[in-house]
Structures are given as structure tokens and as C-alpha cells.
Amino acid sequence: MAERAQHVEAGTAPRTDFWLTIGGERVAGDGRLDVINPATGKVFAQAPAASRAQLDAAVRAARTAFESWRGTTYAERAELVRAFTKKLRERQNELAELLTREQGKPLSQSIAEIDRGAAQSDGMVTIEIPVEVLIDDADRRIELKYRPLGVVGIITPWNAPVNLALGPLVSALYTGNTAVLKPSPYTPLTTLELGEIAREVFPPGVVNVLAGGDDLGKWLTEHPGVDKISFTGSVETGKKVAAAAAGTLKRLTLELGGNDPAIILDDVDPKAIAKKVFFAAFVNSGQVCMAIKRIYAHEKIYEALCDALVEEARKAKVGNGLDPDTTLGPIQNKMQYDKVRAILEDTKKSGARILCGGEVPEGEGYFFPPTLVTDIDEQSRLVQEEQFGPIVPILKFSDVEDAIRRANDTRYGLSASVWTNDLERGKAIAERLEVGTAWVNQHRATSAFVPFGGAKESGLGRQYSIVGLKGYMEPEVISVAKK
Ligand code: NAD
């Protein structure tokens, strides 16, 4: 549950004009959730919170809608998705401001998040999922076709609520499923607005959007009327989701946390890459599943890289995301803010060297300066855990084999990157990293046409591309004996 703040933002009463979407209707919640602006630490809106009975109603509506929606063609569904993204773009600026107020990120990045989500949605609905002919001879014809699963429950986190809702939502709809979407209790508002837009475009019951606390997520994962769960969030919750889904053997896509390493080789110009590496580590104040969370730098360029990254950190402007000068917004919620502060304290106590940042300002809002750390023990919390905040360790290596071993020495396996002027060498190292995506000279590059997801405990299945879409479908063999 979002923490209940004592105070509301001064000047205006909290906005309350948000609704659930159930069966094509705009519905008030049986309960309410306070929504806090992380730049002030105060309540600025209230969202409706769905009860268990409202979840039942949404699942029933989705099941009913599935009966006709499953019979529509890919082309018909693609057209509706495009109508949906068109309306989303029309409301982009207004929604981006709401996203910044609830999530904290700079307004330009909220705009970019909506833009990107819409573009990826448009891209996904151009993907063809053909019937595969496995055998066709004199005796038999065997085809492999894919059919929708039914009702997909979608659960999202608070770091990129629009983008992380659109990926699974459009995947589910385009492949002929209906959906019940549940955002994080910390950032429910823009997702509820997606429901408003969906109501104008899709037949009733195809898209249902319910805000609520963690309990609502749990009920959704246990619900016998739900066929698949697409979950994005932490490893710990992902495991609970998998356990709950086992009750009815629901299909699962789990997009979980990461502790991405970036391995910087000895042949790079640190100044030339610093901006990209800094951005990949600190964008959204480090609250990105695939942000760089550990930097392994070769000893030859180590000092110069530290200097160049500190230089980038000094250029960053931490502040309210609505201020046009801000490049890094606050940490999204108090719980995460306290966790990142505890990691900072642990890092300081361990005797590691704070290169920049490290002093959390007093005052309202969950602000935290970009903090770079060196001379840190490999076993410390900052290196071992997913910090999910603006504090990143830079670790030295002399032998690349050692760097690969240390990069892989984690239960996480979301993504990783290698930085070098020797592309062949970079690719050879990338191939040895135990992750879902290994980049060379870039980090965080994703596309509607490329599968994304985690190895090891960073997830199960993939999102995007034909690989991701097939995760929303049941493969079915049609085997015809010709004689
Ligand atoms: P979280 O796991 O705390 O919560 C995610 C969602 O799960 C929320 O909607 C929450 O209400 C719901 N939930 C909580 N308990 C539940 C339960 N028992 N059953 C079902 N649902 C439940 O994660 P968070 O703190 O919101 O998000 C941050 C995490 O998400 C980080 O670990 C980050 O790396 C990860 N993440 C992963 C990806 C990816 O694509 N791999 C993308 C973004 C974020």
C-alpha cells in the first residue's frame, strides 16, 4: 500500500477525478488510495481502490468480452491499438505532467516514456504470427498455430508505469486476449487514465483497469478466472506471484529486477563514453530495471573514467521534475528512499570512498544526489543488491576474465554491457555474460521487435517481439492424417 502521508499539498485539495474501468464502465472504487508527489512528500491526489468484489466483476467482464474478442483478426485488433495510441498521443502532454507528479521523473522523460510506449505498441502490432507448417507430406499435414489464452492479469511497478503497462497490455490485446491491468499503488493515476482512453476505443470488458494495494495484486494472481499473469516488479514479489499462479498453473511472464554490470575495457576514451554510461546508470534516478548498477573499469582507464563520471554527476540537476532544468527527479517513494539511504549508510560504514554526492539534503521531497562510490568491497550491499537508486559503485579490474567472472557472480541476469573500440572483442565478451540482453557500446536499447527479459532470477519469459507475443498464446498442434 502507498504510505499514508500526514499532509496534503498546500493550496489545492487533492484531485479525486479518477475512476476504475470495469466492463467498459467508469466505476468509483470501493476504497481510496492516497497518491503522494515524491517531489513534496505530500498527498496530491486520491485514486479509487478496487475491492475483491470489483476484481471479480472485472474478471467476469474480461471473460465475457473474450468470447467475441478472440474471434477478431490481427488486423482488426491492430487497428484498434493504433486508434488507442493515437488518442494517447493526443493527451501526451497532459498525461506526462500527471506522470511526473505521481512518479517524479523530469517532464521531458515523462513525455518520452509515453512516446516510446506508443511507438512500441504501434511496432508490436505489425508483427505477424504465422501458422507454422511442421510436416506436410503424402500422409499428413501438421501445423503449429497459436491461440489466445483468455484473460491476462497485468501487474506493474512504479518506475515507468505507462511504458510497463503498454508493453504487456498491447501484447495481450493484439494476440486476442482480454486484460485486467493493475498498476502500483504508488503510481496508479496515469494507468487509470489509460483505462479512460481504452474505454473510448475497445469493446466493453476487453480492457479493465483496477487500482489498489498489494492485496489486489495477490487476489489477481490467485484468481481462477485469470489465465496468465504478466508481472513486472521485484524478484521477491515475482516469486510470490509464481507461487500463487501455480494454484491454477497460470502462464507467466515475469520481468524482474536486475543488477546490471557494465564492463569498460582498456581501449576506450573515458571522456567519450562517460555521458552515455552516466545516463544509463542514473536516468530516472537509477530507478530502471536495466540501469547500469555496477561499473567494472579496467585499471588503465579507471581514474580517468572516475573523473569523467564525476564531471557528469556535477552537471546533473536534481529537483522537481516539473522544473524544466531538472535532469534527475526524486526517488519515487519513501520506502525506496529509506532503502537507498540505508545502502548509502552501509557503504559509508564499510570504508568505501564516496567520489561525489553522498549527502542527502534536508527538506521536503525524496531527493538524493547522484552518488559514485569507489574502493568498495565486492560483498557490500551496494554491489550485491539491486540498489534501484542514484548510487553506483565503480569497481577496478586488471584481467578481463576476472571482470567477466565478477559480472556473472550474481543471482540477477537481466542485462549487461561491454564498452570497447574493438567490436569483435566486445561481442565475444558479451556472449559470455549470463543475461537476457548483452549490449556492446550501449545500454538500455530496446525495441518492439527485440525480445527483452531476464536470465536467472531476473525473470521468466520475454516481452516484445514475436518471442514475447507467443508468451501470450497457447501453441496448438493441428495434425491431419490425409489417408
Ligand atoms: P514490487 O515487486 O514491490 O511491486 C510490483 C507490483 O506488484 C505492484 O503493482 C505491487 O502492488 C504488486 N504486488 C505486491 N505484492 C504482490 C503480491 N504478493 N502478488 C501480486 N502482486 C503484488 O516492485 P516495485 O518496487 O513496484 O518495482 C521495482 C522493481 O521492479 C525493481 O526490482 C525493478 O528492477 C523491477 N522492474 C523490472 C522491470 C523489467 O522489465 N525486468 C522493469 C521495471 C521494474
Give the residue from 353, 342, 367, 339 showing the smallest Cα distance to 310.
Answer: 353
Q: From the CA of 335, how far away is ligand 1's center (Å)?
A: 13
> What DSSP string describes 81-143?
HHHHHHHHHHTHHHHHHHHHHHH---HHHHHHHHHHHHHHHHHHTT---PPEEEEESSSEEEE
Residue 1 has pLDDT above 50, yes or no: no
Greater confidence, 185 or 4?
185
Q: From the CA of 198, how far away is ligand 1's center (Å)?
A: 23
pLDDT band at 11 (very low <50, low <70, confident <90, very high): low
Atom of ligand 1 lying closest to residue 212 CA: 11
Residue 3 has pLDDT above 70, yes or no: no
Residue 334 has pLDDT above 90, yes or no: yes
- Phi/psi at 290 (nearest 5 deg)? -100, 30
pLDDT of residue 7: 64
Residues 54-58, mean pLDDT to the nearest whole number? 98
Parallel, antiparallel, or unpaired for β 228-232 and 151-155?
parallel
Using a 10 angstrom Cβ sphere, with 0-12 exposed, 13-18 middle and 19 or more buried, the burial of residue 4 is exposed
Three-class DSSP category at 433: coil
Instruction: Return the sign of the alpha-carbon dihedral for residues 421, 423, 424, 429.
Output: positive
Ligand 1 pocket residue status of 321, Cβ below 6 Å: no
Contact between residue 162 and residue 96 where contact means Cβ atoms under 8 Å apart:
no
Ligand 1 pocket residue status of 289, Cβ below 6 Å: yes
Residue 203 has pLDDT above 50, yes or no: yes
Ligand 1 pocket residue status of 118, Cβ below 6 Å: no
Atom of ligand 1 lying closest to residue 289 CA: 34
Ligand 1 pocket residue status of 454, Cβ below 6 Å: yes
Residue 213 has pLDDT above 50, yes or no: yes
Residues 275-280, mean pLDDT to the nearest whole number? 98
**Active-site option among 193, 255, 312, 457:** 255
Alpha helices, DSSP H only, in 150-254? 161-174, 189-201, 214-222, 235-245
Around Cβ 357, how many Cβ atoms within 10 Å? 21
Ligand 1, atom 19, lies closest to the CA of 218
Three-class DSSP category at 220: helix
pLDDT of residue 4: 40
**Longest Cα separation, the chain:** 81
Residue 111 has pLDDT above 60, yes or no: yes
Residue burial 46-70, b: 16+ Cβ < 10 Å; e: rest: bbbbbbeebbebbbbbbbebbeebe
Residues 329-339, mean pLDDT to the nearest whole number? 98
The residue to mutate among 55, 159, 387, having the most atoms of ligand 1 within 8 angstroms of its beta carbon, is 159
Residues 140-158, mean pLDDT to the nearest whole number? 98
Q: From the CA of 344, how far away is ligand 1's center (Å)?
A: 22
**Active-site option among 289, 306, 312, 386:** 289
Residues 422-447, mean pLDDT to the nearest whole number? 98
- Percentage of the chain beyond pLDDT 70 is 98
Residues 116-143, mean pLDDT to the nearest whole number? 98
- CA dihedral in degrees (240, 245, 251, 252; nearest 10)? -10
pLDDT of residue 465: 98
Residues 13-36, mean pLDDT to the nearest whole number? 97
Cell of 146: 497459436
Ligand 1 pocket residue status of 233, Cβ below 6 Å: yes
Residue 173 has pLDDT above 60, yes or no: yes
Q: From the CA of 238, how far away is ligand 1's center (Å)?
A: 7
Atom of ligand 1 lying closest to residue 235 CA: 32
Residues 9-37, mean pLDDT to the nearest whole number? 94
Parallel, antiparallel, or unpaired for β 228-232 and 25-27?
unpaired
Q: Does the annotation count 306 as an active-site position?
A: no
Ligand 1 pocket residue status of 158, Cβ below 6 Å: yes
Ligand 1 pocket residue status of 185, Cβ below 6 Å: yes
pLDDT band at 29 (very low <50, low <70, confident <90, very high): very high
**Per-residue pLDDT tens over the stretch 342-364:** 999 999 999 999 999 999 999 99
pLDDT of residue 8: 74
Residue 425 has pLDDT above 80, yes or no: yes
**Per-residue pLDDT tens over the stretch 73-93:** 999 999 999 999 999 999 999
Distance CA 228, CA 445 (A): 27
Residue 2 has pLDDT above 60, yes or no: no
pLDDT of residue 5: 43
Give pairs for 404-410: CB < 8 Å, separation 24+.
404/263, 404/429, 404/432, 404/433, 406/261, 406/296, 406/378, 407/261, 407/263, 407/294, 407/296, 407/433, 408/432, 408/433, 408/434, 410/259, 410/384, 410/456
Three-class DSSP category at 457: helix
Ligand 1 pocket residue status of 245, Cβ below 6 Å: no
Q: From the CA of 255, how far away is ligand 1's center (Å)?
A: 9
pLDDT of residue 81: 99
Q: From the CA of 159, how far away is ligand 1's center (Å)?
A: 9
Residues 401-428, mean pLDDT to the nearest whole number? 98
Q: Does the annotation count 255 as an active-site position?
A: yes
pLDDT band at 12 (very low <50, low <70, confident <90, very high): confident
Residues 5-9, mean pLDDT to the nearest whole number? 61
Residues 157-180, mean pLDDT to the nearest whole number? 98
pLDDT of residue 183: 98
Q: Which residue has the cell 464502465?
A: 25
Mean pLDDT of the chain: 97
Residues 244-264, mean pLDDT to the nearest whole number? 97
pLDDT of residue 9: 75
Amino acid, single-letter form, for residue 214 = D
Ligand 1 pocket residue status of 64, Cβ below 6 Å: no
Ligand 1 pocket residue status of 257, Cβ below 6 Å: yes
Q: From the CA of 407, how far away is ligand 1's center (Å)?
A: 24
Predicted TM-score (pTM) of the model is 0.97
